[in-house]
Amino acid sequence: MTIGYVGLVFTAARQFGRQLKEEEKTRHEIIQQSRQRFLTEKTTLEERKKSLSDEAFKIFTLYEMTKEITKQVSADEAFEIFKRHLSQHVIFKNCQFLEPLSSGLKDIAADNFIFTLQDKRGKIGYLAIEGLDDNDQEKVVILGHQFALALRRVNLYREIEKIAITDSLTEVHTRRHFMERLQEELSRSKARKIKMSVLMIDVDHFKSFNDQYGHLTGDQILRKMAQILKENIREIDIAGRYGGEEFCVLLPDTDREGAKYAAERIRQATEKSEIEAYDNTVKATVSIGLATFPKDGQSVDELIEKADQALYQAKQTGRNRVWA
């Protein structure tokens, strides 16, 4: 009986031990699962935190950069703003902006990060960044897309500005823009006490060309006249269409003798030119009147009036000549 009792106790002890082991195993598994859930939740929170941080970077960086760039009307100024904002968030050695047709792209080292700037019409340039870490490429892409939008706006502004100040037929400046530049140059000449001159140019017998050959030929004569002007003035000079067949040229820092020389060069170039106008080949001449600041006037109106009077004298005395 004693032996049976001892065996029963031993069996019960073994079962109790197994039960304790199973409970310990279960508790360990629960602890492991809890720990795994904690690590997963921690990772998720860290990812969300990074995502929010990245999103905040995008929003605030893009906002600040866009706000500053939209005040600019120059591609170079916009690029400098982009580069400054980029340097605040990523490390790089050098950053270049290349025009879409730039030959410099082939000289860029292979280890540079190249980002293509595009709009709806195609490529508008490239960003070449030296010494950029691979982990920072996404930030460059984000800012690069925004810079492309800003660049598109700059280009659009430039196109609109050109349209606004350019005569659509002749592609010289409009009368309004010419008069604005004349006023600016007159103010500059007064401040620096230097001379400047104005030419008024009229195509001789232009009405006869229109009557004989038609208005399309007349338009071609005006285009050719504008081309002759642009080919025979300096880079600092400004040519404009004053109205109809009448053109005007602003000659900064030019005295009367210099203005006569410039006017005579234009007159001779016109006289020598043959103008191809559809089925017709015609020759035209011009009469030119000039006025010089300060002798002929102290205001824009006075200078234009004096130049116009000189033009009238050139026409009255036989046309195809310069009158001062």
Active site residue 245: yes
Bridge-based pairing state of the strands 246-251 and 196-203:
antiparallel
Question: By CB neighbour count within 10 A (0-12 exposed, 13-18 middle, 19+ buried), where does 115 fall?
Answer: buried
Measured at the alpha carbon of residue 144, what is the angle toward residues 143 and 147, in degrees to the nearest 5? 90
Measured at the alpha carbon of residue 316, what is the angle toward residues 315 and 320, in degrees to the nearest 5? 35
Given the residues 68, 99, 184, 245, the one annotated as active site: 245
Alpha helix stretches (DSSP H) within the chain = 2-69, 75-87, 137-165, 175-192, 206-213, 215-231, 256-272, 300-316
Question: By CB neighbour count within 10 A (0-12 exposed, 13-18 middle, 19+ buried), where does 257 fall?
Answer: exposed
Of 247, 248, 286, residue with least CA distance to 265: 286
Rounded-to-integer distance, Cα 114 and Cα 81, Å:
19
Among all residues, which ones are annotated catalytic? 245
